[in-house]
Amino acid sequence: MLPDRNLHKIILFIALGLIIFGAILIFQGLSPWRAHSSTARSPETPAFPADVPRLPHEAANAPMLNVEMTPTEAQTMPTAPQAPPISIWLDTVAAPALRNVVESFSADGVQFAAAPEDAALRLSAETGPDARRAYTLTFAAATRFDTIHPVIAWREVQSLWNGEPIAAANANSLSIAPQLTRIVVLTETLPLLTQALGTPGQNVFGVSDMATLVEAAWQDRSTLAIVPFEQLEPRLVVLAIDGQNPVENSAHFDPARYPLVAHLYAQMHPRSEEEAKRIAQMLQALPQGNRDPERLTVLTMTGVTAMCRLTAAQMERFGPAWPAEVVGPELASADITHISNEVPFVEGCEPNTDPNNFNFCSKPEYVETLFASGVDIVGMTGNHQNDFGRQKAVASLDMYETWGLPYYGGGRNLAEALKPLYVEHNGNRLAFLGANSYGPPMAWATDALPGAAPFDLNILSATIRSIKEKNLADIVLVELQYQESYDVQPLGDQRLDFNALVRAGADIVTGVQSHVPQAIEFTDGKLVLYGLGNLYFDQMWAQATREGMVVKHTFYKGRHLSTQILTTMLYDYGQPHWTTPEERAGILRRVFDASYW
């Protein structure tokens, strides 16, 4: 036993050591008491940045701890076990359609097996007692854009696929089948199309890519292209098969009645109950096919609307929605319906039927025609917005806002007139821009006064580029009120300016100034419509001014897939009707013959 005096020395020495060790820990900021304090913070520890989101369990005043681990410590820290990737086998038929889709929709990643027996999930075109339908491929029958009557019967597609050209006597009256002698498809889709159509004849040809397929259709009018829906391009017009067209929305398209589809099937062979749950979750997350109606948008765009003069007189006689009685329901069936309304709504406006009257106004109750047409957005590039003065123009804009009708291409001042209108539908982000080059200057907006956006190619091009560079929209649509011409061919400067806007990044450029249908062009694959003609207006004085075009654009997952042209004929000084097949052929032949193919 040590003497008491020595014991006291030892205890004192140990206590002194503990005090020194604690002081060192505090100095280095590693005190265990400090780490559990809710208020203490060392000067070296920064406050939590306000712009960094906290995890849900983090307290608002929780301190940040600067604790570093050595590599050895980090390696020994326990980690949550990660589920192994699901082993999937795709047969040669399913692989082109599903490989990228499966990779995108699997939460845990996938591992593609070399043989079916090595896979927990097998995806193929084969059916079986334990197979379930996993994915539907919708195809489109298409041909070159300048086709007058894009319709065909399913039996005609089948006969052509089997190598049996259709005689005109056996074809539907409007079908293009008699002029078709061959079919071109993407080579990788041939096995799936065989499932839908049977063994192909010698007149069915496979190509490697869409560019080659589109070129083949354009070079030979006897060619029918069969294309996976999501790979469509606007230079192809899609044919309605037995009245069903997949580029339409659910108002017109019934998938159950559309025959040009193929199916892929799933067979599950999980190694465990947990893996079975993960496979089921992955299959549930996969889209049902390559045509998802919740990712599709149909936009209808129209030409000149001016509810004044004799059109207004007819509306006084037959009611404020009279112009839209025939074509309104079709216009309203689109997901987004556009109208170019050139005339302000003015309280106390009275119809002036003098044909030499060019001072236009519409009664506010005439908005019923827009409602009956299902109008969602309004282009304000017309040169009559200020006809009754700037105060009346502002009052008209107030009415649009009260009615919940967004507008663009004009506004309360220059900044508002130049501002893009952004619309999102089913994930498709659209930007609308408009401008007026026709004038007169009193029709243009200024820094402080209302009117249409004056056309400046540099400003408009810069706006388009900015939208694209900042990824503010998938599709940019520009409309111009250009110098008026009553010729099917556009003016020289008109063509130059419209094409310049495409090269700046616009996806579709439309002329809304023309009172007659005008030519069409594809510039770098983008659609240019030089003029759509009249919609609701009184110009009955010539055949050409009675004619009009309504265009329906289909967008899918941020891409412009297709455009349809509907044709109208004006009656009774303000009410358009859908054309007869003969009238349609007359309009489109003249437009297509003047177009730049």
- Is residue 51 over pLDDT 50? no
Fold observed for domain 85-291? D-Maltodextrin-Binding Protein; domain 2 (3.40.190)
Distance CA 118, CA 321 (A): 66
**Category of 242 on φ-ψ map: left (φ > 0), alpha (ψ -120 to 50) or beta:** left
Average pLDDT over residues 292-306: 98
Per-domain residue ranges of the chain: 4-76, 85-291, 294-594
Chain-centre distance for alpha carbon 89: 33
Tell me how crowded residue 386 is: count the other CB atoms within 10 A of its CB: 24
pLDDT of 406-423, one tens digit each? 999 999 999 999 999 999
How would residue 104 be classed by pLDDT, with cut points 50, 70 and 90?
confident
Distance CA 247, CA 554 (A): 6
How would residue 374 be classed by pLDDT, with cut points 50, 70 and 90?
very high
**Category of 332 on φ-ψ map: left (φ > 0), alpha (ψ -120 to 50) or beta:** alpha
How would residue 77 be classed by pLDDT, with cut points 50, 70 and 90?
low
Beta strands in 246-327 (DSSP E): 261-268, 296-301, 304-305
Q: Is 509 in contact with 464 (CB distance < 8 Å)? A: no
Which pTM value belongs to this model?
Answer: 0.85
Distance CA 531, CA 539 (A): 16
Q: Give the pLDDT confidence score for residue 109 in this predicted structure.
A: 72
- Is residue 298 over pLDDT 70? yes
Q: What percent of the chain has pLDDT over 70?
A: 85
Write the CB contacts of 2 (distance below 8 Å, at least 6 apart in sequence): 10
Q: Is 409 in contact with 482 (CB distance < 8 Å)? A: no
Q: Which of 238, 188, 239 is nearest to 209 (CA)?
A: 188
Average pLDDT over residues 34-59: 34
Q: Which of 70, 67, 115, 66 is nearest to 88 (CA)?
A: 115
Class of domain 294-594: alpha beta
Average pLDDT over residues 162-181: 83
Q: Which of 467, 471, 524, 460 is nearest to 497 (CA)?
A: 460
Can you give the length of the chain in residues? 597
User: What SS3 string covers 145-214?
Assistant: CCCCCCEECHHHHHHHHCCCCCCHHHCCCCCCHHHCCEEEEEHHHHHHHHHHHCCCCCCEEEECCHHHHH
Q: Is 305 in contact with 341 (CB distance < 8 Å)? A: yes
Which pair of tokens denotes residue 212? Answer: 């080659």
Distance CA 534, CA 568 (A): 9
* Helix (H/G/I), strand (E/B), else coil: 582: helix
